[in-house]
Amino acid sequence: MFKRFDTLIDTIISRMSLDEKIGQLNQICFSTDPKTIDHIKDMIRKGQVGSLILAASSTAGNDDNSSVNRELLNEFQHVAVNESPNKIPLVFARDVIYGHRTVYPIPLAQSCSFNSSLIEECYSDIAEEASSDGIHWTFSPMLDLCRDPRWGRIIETPGEDPFVAGKIAQAVIKGFQGNFEKGKLVACAKHFIGYGASEAGRDYHHTEISDYSLYNYYLPAFRSAVKSGVGTVMSSFNDINGENVGSSRFYMNDILREHLGFEGFVISDWGAVRLPLRQGTAVNDADCAEQCINAGTDMDMVESSYINNLKALVEEQRVAEQTIDKAVKRILRVKLAKGLFENPYCEAIVFDRQKHLQNSRKLAAESMVLLKNDNKTLPLEKDKNIILIGPFVNERRSLLGSWTLDGRAEETQNLYEAFCETVGKERISNSICGNADTIVLALGETNQMNGEAHSLADISVTQEQKELILRAKATGKRVVGVLFYGRPVALEDVEQYFDAILYAWHSGSCTAHAVCDILFGKTSPSGRLSVTFPKKTGHIPIYYNALRPGKTVNAYYGDVWQGALSACYIDGLANPMYPFGFGLTYTEFSYGEITAEKQELSLSDIENGESFKLKVSVKNIGEFSAKETVQLYVCDKVASVMRPLKELKGYLKKQIEPGEISDFEFELGKEQLGFYLKDGSFKLEKGEFDLYIGENCLTERKITVKII
Ligand code: BGC
């Protein structure tokens, strides 16, 4: 889709000097410092800048001193389109990750909503707000598959499942980019690839990813991003099996461009062109630049390795000028697609902020997961007194999560304020011995406890918060935990003390109101976990779509060996605290039998694109209207290589009224039944497939189909 501009681009490139071409590959930092402004203008005038990043530091999310200044952006653009050699517009980038002024739930939380259309709408809102501030290009969605909640950046990920990640990629990219019209942003699928697999959750660390895992687990989200027309991709900081990704032809060219068919451009991560030097596979900065440009990393984010070295590298014939031309071409494709040549300046856009806040509240409520609700503790009655305590009662900033640049804590209501609005101030006590039957305990981690370069070695609840839970339990009152975390927390030690647990995440501008919507029954909870919750840190990594070890009976989530569930560890049960796909609600659903249109299919028919349908009816047998997320899992029973016991291949979320029966229909074909071999080819094999449909990954409701 980006190639339609190529003839025009060839003409532009034919007029450009080598210096100007290299300038297009250079992204520099925005600044409001008067001395730096003149320097930046001078560089733009000389054609030395392709893009500006509007951020003050590399770990920008938790940074408070980064700002956008529309007038200044227009001044820079004015220099580019009037005074630079070929008048090529600049593209302005910023980390608009899951919100701008209106902040939506952190991506990990969003992925628990299993609601792609709402996510798409929210990202369209975000695009309006950010483009109104002059931003053209955002470094989102982050599509790193993550199985390790110690990693601080798990908050930005879509969780542990490739299918969910693919759906999120599509929704976010459609929402952000639309058709690149006014009010839209160019998206960036990041980090390509494998960054989320860093050993032990240590940020920027080494990864080992087999080819089977690469194709079947790590690439699907990027495959979906490319299919959705993503304009840009960011290379990652990590190495895979000892090879730096951003300087690897295999990853940046063979996989991204040839295997996935990506036509846009690649930006390095912050200063990542220099990584081979630190990793010991380059002798100097020039060597790094040579390796990265030859691999296919087109734009250098902020460290000037390209601008300082590429000209000499071309003169020394270490880099071909055609390689530079290719990179420029890919960058100009995106600038043209975004319409920057016709509309280089930013203008304010009229948008409905109230609608954005409503969407943010809806998505927050759909992202929160009810983990426990003994004896129907929830929903709470509005006319009863409540004790509201804990370190998150008055917290604002953390509710916005760790990667927000433009959200404002002072505009974010805290839980106390939302409770006052919902039930009235007079009903709320902040004393643990207050006159009430129920204690709502607001616990969690701050935004500074996660995010880039903020990993944790221990993901359990802090000692201080554990003590508070025990004190609450000792009162004999009912204890409702509302947990505000950016990652899964290990709850084994404390789960038993709660009557109910609502996992509220860091869910953005309307977190507190969304919590009240759920606690007081205005909305039934509908979030489902997109990531497994381990009982304790030592069980990491634990993920549902693992391969089956041979010695165990079931090997699914905590090995069952010779009848003992704890066989894999002798110091406790190792099955998850809460499995992938899990989440409760206020009503109950009853599933009917699964029916399949066909139970025997010919391999050649499916190879030729034939599909078949599976159906299940779900009845709401409780008293509340609620949404159910019906999940379809596939098990390829015997294959030429080991296959997981279950893989999610479809989900549908629908509101079902009490007494109502709703039909859920899934269509399956080659894509859902086949898999990638280690050479990257896709294969569908004959044999039996168990097709499970249910409420989470532990469902045993299945039907078997045969491919003959
Ligand atoms: C992060 C990226 C981010 C970039 C720009 C890097 O440190 O890894 O995700 O987009 O900085 O702020």
Give the position, in ligand 1's atom list, of the atom nearest the Cα of 156: 9
Tell me which of 346 and 617 has the higher pLDDT.
617
Reported as a single tens digit per residue, the pLDDT across 50-80 is: 999 998 765 555 555 556 888 999 999 999 9
Binding site membership of 60 for ligand 1 (Cβ less than 6 Å): yes
- How far apart are the C-alpha atoms of 665 and 633, rounded to whole Å? 13
Binding site membership of 269 for ligand 1 (Cβ less than 6 Å): yes
* Cα-based angle 78, 334, 325 (whole degrees, multiple of 5): 95
User: How much of the chain exceeds pLDDT 90, in percent?
Assistant: 91
| Average pLDDT score over residue span 139-157 | 98
- The number of angstroms, rounded, from the C-alpha of 405 to the middle of its chain's C-alpha atoms is 17
Q: Where in 355-402 does DSSP place strands (E)?
A: 369-373, 386-389
Handedness of CA 686, 688, 694, 700 (dihedral sign): negative
User: Residue 159, Cβ neighbours under 10 Å: how many?
Assistant: 26
Binding site membership of 52 for ligand 1 (Cβ less than 6 Å): no
- How far apart are the C-alpha atoms of 16 and 328, rounded to whole Å? 10
The reported pTM is 0.97
Q: What does the pLDDT read at residue 58?
A: 59
Question: Under a CB-based contact definition with an 8 Å cutoff, are residues 378 and 419 in contact?
Answer: no
Q: What does the pLDDT read at residue 387?
A: 98
Q: 591: which strand partners? A: 618
Mutate to test the pocket of ligand 1, among 28, 30, 58, 455 (most ligand atoms within 8 A of CB): 58
- How far apart are the C-alpha atoms of 430 and 483, rounded to whole Å? 17
- How far apart are the C-alpha atoms of 391 and 494, rounded to whole Å? 17
Ordered DSSP codes for 446-464 = -GGGSSTT---S--BPPHH
Reported as a single tens digit per residue, the pLDDT across 297-335 is: 999 999 899 999 999 999 999 999 999 999 999 999 999
Distance 270 CA to ligand 1 centre (A): 6
- How far apart are the C-alpha atoms of 297 and 273, rounded to whole Å? 8
Binding site membership of 55 for ligand 1 (Cβ less than 6 Å): yes
Does pLDDT of 234 surpass 80? yes
Distance 408 CA to ligand 1 centre (A): 21
Reported as a single tens digit per residue, the pLDDT across 94-111 is: 999 999 999 999 999 999
3-state DSSP call for residue 51? strand
Reported as a single tens digit per residue, the pLDDT across 545-568 is: 998 877 764 555 765 555 555 557
Q: What does the pLDDT read at residue 55?
A: 83
Q: What does the pLDDT read at residue 551?
A: 72
Give the position, in ligand 1's atom list, of the atom nearest the Cα of 139: 10
Q: Where in 608-686 does DSSP place strands (E)?
A: 612-620, 626-636, 647-656, 661-668, 675-676, 682-683
Distance 271 CA to ligand 1 centre (A): 9
Q: What does the pLDDT read at residue 427?
A: 97
Q: Is 200 left (phi over 0), alpha (psi -120 to 50) or beta?
A: left
Reported as type and span, the H/E element at residue 513 is: helix 511-519
Give the position, in ligand 1's atom list, of the atom nearest the Cα of 140: 10
Mutate to test the pocket of ligand 1, among 53, 146, 269 (most ligand atoms within 8 A of CB): 269
Mean pLDDT of the chain: 95
Q: What does the pLDDT read at residue 567?
A: 59
Binding site membership of 29 for ligand 1 (Cβ less than 6 Å): no
Q: What does the pLDDT read at residue 547?
A: 87
